[in-house]
Amino acid sequence: MRTETRIVLWDLLSGLIGLSGAVFVRRVQRAAAEVDDDAPEPNSFSVRGAVFGTLSAVGIQYIDDRNVGGIRSTLRRRLGFTLGWTVLQQRFHSNDPADSWSFVLGNSLGRITYRIWFGVVRPIPEARLEYRGFLPWRR
Q: Is 28 a residue whose pLDDT tops 50?
A: yes
Split at pLDDT 50, 70, 90, the class of 139 is: very low
Residues sharing a CB contact under 8 Å with residue 87, sequence separation 6 or more, in sequence order:
none
pLDDT tens profile 41-77 = 666 788 888 898 899 999 999 998 888 888 887 788 8
The CA-atom distances, in angstroms, between 131 and each of 2, 93, 126 are 14, 31, 9
Task: Parse the chain into domains and list their residue ranges.
Answer: 3-138
Nearest to 63 by CA among 49, 47, 48, 77: 77
Please provide the average confidence, as pLDDT, over all residues in the chain. 82
* Coil vs helix vs strand at 104: helix
